[in-house]
A and B are shown apart, each in its own frame.
Chain A
Amino acid sequence: MTLKTRYLRDRIVVSLLASMTALVVIPLCVIIAYVGINGIGALSWDFFTEELGSPARAMQGRPTGLAHSIVGTLIIDSLAVCMAAPVGIGTGILLSEFPDHPVNPILRVLTSTLNGMPAVLMGMLAFSLVVKPMGRFSALAGSFALALVMLPIIARAVEGVLNITPWSIREAGLALGLPRWRVTLSMVLPAAKRGVVTGVLIAFARAAGEAAPLLFTSFGNNYMNTNILKPMDTLPQRLYSLAISPYRQWHSMGWAAGIVLMIIVLASFAAARLLSRESAGLHIKSDRSKKPESNKEV
């Protein structure tokens, strides 16, 4: 092969990659632009400070907004992360670092099952496990349902990132006479911090957009509520109900809800990235030294 044809090939491959990227990016931009154009008009001061209230408000032109949905989303989603992250990270650690642990086969089945389950079923599950015993809809139940959505995603991501952290880090720690759990928490996990944070974020972003699991759990609310034991409103669910409402004003508020939801997700990505930047595992780029097939518990 001549040098010229190599250059040619190189150029073809690069342009192919570029067009593939465009194929992904263009629809994304279209969606964002479309949501933005339709919703920007409804983003008023009232939108962020008022609660929705009854339809009468919209019809009479009284101030109305989605403050309660924004607050509800923040509460329910952060509560869900608080529930899912420790369990998900723990599961990921167990699967990756202690592959011979007797509970692992069960964990694997559970996480794959959860992963493949439609989100609405998570809602049903939360309904029967939380709503039924408590006797009412609540934000807590909604968080639980969202946590179920996040759990398998976090567990998978953590297992994956731990599997690619260099084996030599573990050996170094163990050779100092530290127990395996110590090495995992103090050496391996910090080295994998960025990947872990990314995994949690992806799970969060995925769950933040879900309306289905919340239908029978946090239920929705037209008014401000910060009591997690009572029904609470969320943006995705509100977006849906606004979209199918008969009021023009509510339609554009629905688009605006979409904007706010995107901003919340993007902002949490940015914040988490920033927080995990310093001293994070920037250094595990090149060294993917072999990991033995598996390892016994020490």
Chain B
Amino acid sequence: MHYAQTEVYAEDPKEQVLHLERKEDDSAGEESASAADRILRMETQNLSVYYQEVRGVDRVDMPVYADRVTALIGPSGCGKTTFLRSLNRMHDLTKGARVTGKALLDGKDIYAPGQDPILVRRKIGMVFQKPNPFPTMSIYDNVSSGLRLAGIRKRSILDEAVEYSLTHAALWNEVKDRLKSHAFSLSGGQQQRLCIARALAVEPEVILMDEPTSSLDPKGTASIEELITMLKEEVTIIMVTHNMHQAMRISDYTAFFYLGSLIEFGRTKQIFTHPREEKTEEYVGGQFG
């Protein structure tokens, strides 16, 4: 598999500024760089996740910057999915799973008593590794389901939301003439984009994506990557990926997990070119062979 090389950044004037800043800040360390030019959307503080008594994620402190793409990388079983799911309280559903520490969204802990997990998930959407459209619904109904079932009935609003989300998910042109047909009539990659559209329709502030391209072919992967790059103007994206090239291409920040711990967090470029930790270097280097 070969992809066009990586300088997605350079096309975006804003990002060029970022580039320059990065150069300056490289020496000063990522902490100050981040604080200077970025708004914090989320932040975890001492966040751990336990399955029964086994710790799946171990005391993670990690910032998530607004309108940026953060990639989570690390070997299989290191807790990426577990960490991701703790960011919108999906573990509430798993018996025996327990989360300690804090996960702040816009400064408020989503695990604080009195926080409604339903409202939290409204603001923090999720796209799963395997496309999971609702099996009984049409394409239109799939995308509009979040709004419809939250009580929005007005046809014009729904229509608009469906078109907007499908367009943003780069699927509109392919399905605009058959919105009423069944979601399962779509290909795997289209289904995945449908799921992204469905998540977009409720206008979340943050979208969590667990290996969104793992079941796709190079073309589908490319269109989802393009989509993510486009989406980050409006939403904050946290994405798990096993593909180092992908992380380099589309993420602004990268977090390297190992055995449940966050080993290193930094700007993607720095992680891949000048990792501070030996473990990161081994992993990232190993991946490039």
Chain A residues engaging chain B, CB cutoff 8 angstroms: 100, 166, 168-179, 182, 186-187, 190-191, 193, 279-281, 283-284, 289, 292-296, 298
Contacts and interface: CB of A to CB of B under 8 A. Distances in A.
Contacts of A298: 92-93, 117-118
A174 B133 CA distance: 13
Nearest to B94: A292
Contact of B121 (A175, A292, A294): A175
Give the interface centre of B120, B134, B198 by most chain A CB atoms within 10 Å. Answer: B134
B69 interface: no
A166 B135 CA distance: 10
Contacts of B96: 293
Contact of B132 (A168, A177, A178, A190): A168
B54 interface: no
Contacts of A182: 149
28 contacts: A168-B128, A168-B132, A169-B135, A171-B90, A172-B128, A173-B134, A175-B199, A176-B125, A176-B145, A176-B198, A177-B118, A177-B119, A177-B122, A177-B123, A177-B146, A186-B145, A186-B149, A187-B136, A190-B136, A191-B134, A279-B136, A279-B182, A281-B135, A292-B94, A293-B96, A295-B93, A295-B95, A296-B93
A178 B122 CA distance: 8
Given A176-B125, A296-B92, A280 B146 contact: no
A292 B94 CA distance: 6
A100 B94 CA distance: 12
Give the interface centre of B121, B128, B195, B198 by most chain A CB atoms within 10 Å. Answer: B121
Interface string B217-259: 0000000000000000000000000000000000000000000
Interface in B105-121: 117-121
Interface residues of B, number: 34
A284 B135 CA distance: 8
Contacts of B145: 173, 176, 186-187
B64 interface: no
Contacts of B128: 168, 171-172, 175
Contacts of A289: 130
Contacts of B198: 172, 176
B268 to A, nearest CB: 26
B93 A172 contact: no
Contacts of B88: 175
Contacts of A173: 134, 145
A175 B150 contact: no
A172 B134 contact: yes
A176 to B, nearest CB: 4
Give the interface centre of B93, B95, B96 by most chain A CB atoms within 10 Å. Answer: B93
B117 A176 contact: no
A187 B141 CA distance: 11
Contacts of A169: 132, 134-135
A57 B57 CA distance: 83
A178 B150 contact: yes
B139 interface: no
Contact of B136 (A166, A176, A178, A280): A280
A108 to B, nearest CB: 17
Contacts of B94: 292-293, 295
A283 B135 contact: yes
B200 to A, nearest CB: 11
Give the interface centre of B133, B145, B199 by most chain A CB atoms within 10 Å. Answer: B145
B278 to A, nearest CB: 36
Nearest to A170: B93
The 6 closest A-B pairs by CB, nearest first: A177-B122, A176-B146, A175-B126, A283-B135, A168-B132, A190-B136
Contacts of A283: 135-136, 184
A279 B198 CA distance: 20
Interface string B135-151: 11100000001100110
B118 A171 contact: no
Contacts of A191: 134-136
Give the interface centre of A172, A178, A193, A293 by most chain B CB atoms within 10 Å. Answer: A172
Contacts of B195: 172
Given A175-B125, A178-B118, A295-B95, A193 B146 contact: no
Nearest to A284: B135
A51 B18 CA distance: 90
A281 B96 CA distance: 30
A236 B88 CA distance: 56
B202 interface: yes
A171 B90 CA distance: 8
A176 B95 contact: no
Contacts of A284: 135
Contacts of A172: 128, 132-134, 195, 198
B153 to A, nearest CB: 14
